[in-house]
Amino acid sequence: MSEVRIKNFKRVLVANRGEIAIRVFRALNELGITSVAVYSKEDKYAMFRTLADEAYPLNPEKGPIDAYLDIPTILKIAKDHNVDAIHPGYGFLAENPVLVEECEKNGITFIGPTVDSMNAMGDKISSKQIAIASQVPIIPGVDHAMKTVEEAMEVAKKVGYPVMLKASNGGGGRGMRIVSREEDMPKEFKEAIDESKKAFGDDQVFIEKYLKGPKHVEVQVLADNYGNVVHLFDRDCSVQRRHQKVVEYAPAFSVPEASRQKIFDSAIRLCKQVGYRNAGTCEFLVDSDGNPYFIEMNPRIQVEHTVTELVTDVDIVRSQILIAEGYPLNSPEINITSQKAIECHGYAIQTRVTSEDPSNNFMPDTGKVSVYHSGSGNGIRLDGGNVYTGAEILPYYDSLLVKVCSFDRTFKGAAVKSLRALREMRIQGIKTNISFLINVINNPTFQAGACYTTFIEETPELFS
């Protein structure tokens, strides 16, 4: 192990908003570090900024989203206010290597991986190539961008229809299309390339076999600056709508034990291959025979890190900050002495309560929250964004209001607690997805741990 170097942070800026900004402020507060918020003009009255020790406005000339993507202004605020480090949260700049480079140039620590490993895992094609080099199984298809429709037809014929066309830089469930028939390929391929250019800035599109009814299983990893890597077990994120997660739980108890072990080992190998640092998540699809395939790595904190914290007692966000300060995993501060020292106990379920209307195709709703009363009590953890009685829900940002997590010794017990907490919640003035979430948790397929990624679209009774 190379020489341990510790740089204790005094002040940390969070380049994000809403619930993840609040989550990081809380970890900073517990570490005795001053938290610094930045906010867009539209977020002037948002709750998150009042929960930081200090808050500074971003460029009011930029739009509500672009303000949070404006690296020069964020760095200027960081330098003007003597910030030691920047935490990017998720979304916005979290996977932008330019921010990492700019931080380095300005002597500010980026709380996340190095530029090299971010680039290596940054897009789906290069992470596939890393997987091949690490002997980690991937879905049959190609490991490079396709230039011609002829090549796409040839590969699709080889792996067999249906196939999936994917934008290498796609994210958030966007940039994927299923092609079921050979005759549809020319049109779909052209559209995929055009969409990729427009939405993700390049034409890197590849193809892989479309798996029918897989499970989405992911592994949380933590790596320090000295080559030590551990996993914090897995999460099952199969309950999705349009390839986006709706309910997540830990551990992925219904996946065969041998497959889980393969997934853990693969995640560690991938991280070692790229010299990964800090927190990250390796995502896999598991087919109906239990075969796991790596799909991508997210080099950042994820929305659903909460359920892993509940079943392992590891504070992932605090660990991120301590790792960036230079503490080894086995230091008394982080206290992860070995892989074996991490136990997974009990079950945790996260439901994402959003301001969306399930009866109207999940259309986001906006406006004033006239009543907000949360569920709470034994075994419930809440991570809220900008939601309280009187809060204004804005149209510009994602519709997450609060993450409701439950914890119990049994999965059934956790499900019952989730139901109880969701039923206790009173949110008036805006539409929410609470009734839909209750239907998901109440569903016998969910309670058996048997959900697969197309469960929501194939289960109309969830909408009643």
CA 23 to chain centre: 14
Q: Tell me: does residue 255 bind ligand ADP (CB under 6 A).
A: no
- In the bound state with ligand ADP, the residue whose beta carbon lies nearer, of 76 and 243, is 243
Among 19, 95, 208, 356, binds ligand ADP (CB under 6 A): 208
Closest CA to 53 of 108, 110, 14: 14
Instruction: Give phi and psi for 8, each to the nearest 5.
Output: -75, 125
Binding mask 266-285 for ligand ADP (x = CB under 6 A): -----------------x-x
- Residues in contact with 270: Cβ distance below 8 Å, sequence separation at least 6, in sequence order: 121, 130, 131, 134, 136, 276, 282, 294, 297
Joined tokens for residue 54:
């200090």
* Residues 324, 279 contacting (CB under 8 angstroms): no
- The answer to the question of whether 124 is labelled as a binding residue is yes
Tokens of 303: 């929305």
The verdict on 403 binding ligand ADP (CB under 6 A) reads no
Cα separation of the two ends of the chain: 57
Quote the least distance from Cβ 222 to ligand ADP, whole Å: 20
In single-letter form, the type of residue at position 235 comes to: R
Say whether residue 111 binds ligand ADP (CB under 6 A): no
State the angle between helix axes of 185-200 and 149-159 in degrees (0 to 180), rounded to the nearest 10: 110
> For residues 271 and 223, what is the distance between their CA atoms, to the nearest angstrom?
8
429 lies in the site for ligand ADP, by CB under 6 A: no
- CB nearer ligand ADP, residue 170 or residue 251: 170
Q: Which of 14, 55, 146, 295 binds ligand ADP (CB under 6 A)?
A: 295
Which among 165, 137, 167 has a CA at the least distance from the CA of 151? 165
300 annotated active-site: yes
Indicate the helix (H) or strand (E) that contains 401.
strand 400-408
Q: Which listed range, 21-29, 48-56, 73-81, 210-218, lies at the site for ligand ADP (CB under 6 A)? A: 210-218
Tally of CB atoms within 10 A around 288: 11
Rg (CA), the chain: 22
170 binds ligand ADP (CB under 6 A): yes
Question: Which of these is catalytic: 49, 241, 300, 318?
Answer: 300
Bridge partners (DSSP) of residue 241 are 244
Q: 23 vs 241, which CB is nearer to ligand ADP?
A: 241
For ligand ADP, the closer of residues 112 and 214 by Cβ is 214
Cβ proximity to ligand ADP: between 83 and 193 the closer is 193
The one among 172, 201, 256, 395 contacting ligand ADP by CB under 6 A: 172
**E strand or H helix at 219:** strand 215-223
Out of 234, 296, 356, 383, point to the residue binding ligand ADP (CB under 6 A).
Answer: 296
When the beta carbons of 136 and 321 are compared against ligand ADP, the nearer one is 136
CB of residue 179 vs ligand ADP: minimum separation in angstroms? 11
Query: Can you say whether the dihedral through the CA atoms of 106, 107, 109, 113 is positive or negative?
Result: positive
Q: From the CB of 326, what's the least distance to ligand ADP, in Å?
A: 31
Q: Which stretch binds ligand ADP (CB under 6 A): 87-95, 164-172, 250-258, 437-445?
A: 164-172
The single residue among 164, 221, 268, 317 that binds ligand ADP, judged by CB under 6 A, is 164
Using rule CB under 6 A, residue 127 touches ligand ADP: no
Which position among 243, 272, 381, 420 is part of the footprint of ligand ADP (CB under 6 A)? Answer: 243
By CB under 6 A, is residue 395 in contact with ligand ADP?
no
User: What is the C-alpha to C-alpha distance for residues 239 and 456, in angstroms, rounded to an integer?
Assistant: 7
In one letter, which amino acid is 352? Answer: R
> In whole angstroms, how close is the CB of 373 to ligand ADP at the nearest point?
33
Q: Please report, as residue ranges, which positions from 173 to 192 form the binding site for ligand ADP (by CB under 6 A).
A: 173, 176
Return the DSSP state at 210: P
Q: Per rule CB under 6 A, is residue 453 in the interface with ligand ADP?
A: yes
- Contact with ligand ADP (CB under 6 A) among 88, 214, 358, 375: 214
In angstroms, the CA 410 to CA 399 distance is 30
Q: Is 449 in the site for ligand ADP (CB under 6 A)?
A: no
Residue 26 vs 243, nearer CB to ligand ADP: 243
| DSSP state for residue 326 in the 8-state scheme | T
- Interface with ligand ADP, residue 200, by CB under 6 A: no
Helix or strand or coil: residue 249? strand
CA dihedral of residues 117, 122, 128, 132 (deg, nearest 10): -10
User: Considering the complex, what minimum distance in angstroms separates the CB of residue 32 from ligand ADP?
Assistant: 36
Question: Which phi and psi (to 5°) does residue 230 adopt?
Answer: -130, 160
Spatial CB neighbours of 81, under 8 Å, sequence gap ≥ 6: 11, 13, 36, 54, 56
Among 211, 221, 223, 311, indicate the residue that binds ligand ADP (CB under 6 A). Answer: 211
Q: Which residues bind ligand ADP (CB under 6 A)?
A: 139, 164, 170-173, 176, 208, 210-211, 214, 216, 240, 243, 283, 285, 295-296, 453
Active site residues: 300
Residues belonging to the binding site for ATP are: 124, 208, 243
